[in-house]
Amino acid sequence: MVQVLDSEGAVDPWRRRTRRARRQMPLWQELPLLLIVAFCLAVLIRTFLLQAFFIPSGSMEDTLLIGDRVLVNKVVYDVRDPVRGEVVVFRGTDRWVAQEVQGPEPGFAGKVGRTLGDLVGVSRPGEKDFIKRVIGVPGDRVKCCDDQGRVLVNGIALDEPYVIRNSPLDVPPNPRECRSRRFEEVVVPPGQIFVMGDHRLVSQDARCQGTVPIDNVVGRAFMVVWPSQRWTSLPVPATFDRLSRPAAAPAAPAAPVEPAPVGGVALVLPMATMMSVLARSGRSGRARGRRLHP
């Protein structure tokens, strides 16, 4: 048996009792501590690393469906700017009008649940939270359409297989409505991005609501995590590889941080903590079991 000694080499009974008490803590006492630690980790992860967002509308169909939950990397744009083809979550400016009709005011239990959900990042988005695909970055010239009805970025047509339901070509363009596929050329200002939804028939986006400040971008959506049968990543489509960087756009760093490793670390951290506590509880339980049932 290992004995705990004080500075003079004698057995320290207080430390021995403390260690025995800690080792014999029952699971019902450790469980609240485990829940508190897991909740605090979830809040920290939601605030600084990544967040789960609920998709409330069909503006990104069929890439994202109503009810999907996506993981959003909140740190990747701290080291670089968004690039074309990425799916981003952002706060809309005053020109952006929320597409969703707000439901009835929830009761007390609903307010508590919404508050807790917002803390850990699993609640519905706010009225001015949007998710769209980046089409143009600072300095780009974006317009529609060419003779095949495709969007042009710096004169290069985009082949967009992710656009399943497009806007009609026969509707005249209106800068205050996004009903038409056609729109006049837009030069993306410095510090802004031009975004569009994949479901162009219903998406209200930069065609009629204007570009979005990069400072308003919350993060990059990089993975669909729910429902489980739709688990998939959200890569940049190959069509954007054909575009050259505009002269006015800032150069990207040589080694940009990719979102997947950050998400992996953030998900593993709380799981490892909980497994560690449960393992310690299991060992204590087995020890108590041997004492209760010799």
Which are the catalytic amino acids?
59, 132
User: What are 70's two structure tokens?
Assistant: 């996506």
31: left (phi over 0), alpha (psi -120 to 50) or beta: alpha
Neighbours of 93 (CB within 10 A): 14
Report yes or no: 141 and 247 within 8 Å, Cβ to Cβ.
no
* Residue corresponding to tokens 């590889």: 241
User: What are 91's two structure tokens?
Assistant: 């706060």
Tell how many helices (H) and how many strands (E) occur in the chain.
5, 12
Report yes or no: 176 and 184 within 8 Å, Cβ to Cβ.
no
Task: Return the DSSP state at 154.
Answer: T
Helices (H), the chain: 13-23, 27-48, 108-120, 206-209, 259-292
Report yes or no: 148 and 160 within 8 Å, Cβ to Cβ.
no
Please give the full DSSP string across 129-174, using - where no structure is assigned. EEEEEEEE-TT-EEEE--TTS-EEETTEE---TT--SPPPSSSPPB
In terms of Cα–Cα distance, which of 129, 153, 131, 137 is closest to 82?
Answer: 137
Q: Give the integer Cα–Cα distance in Å for 163 and 151.
A: 11
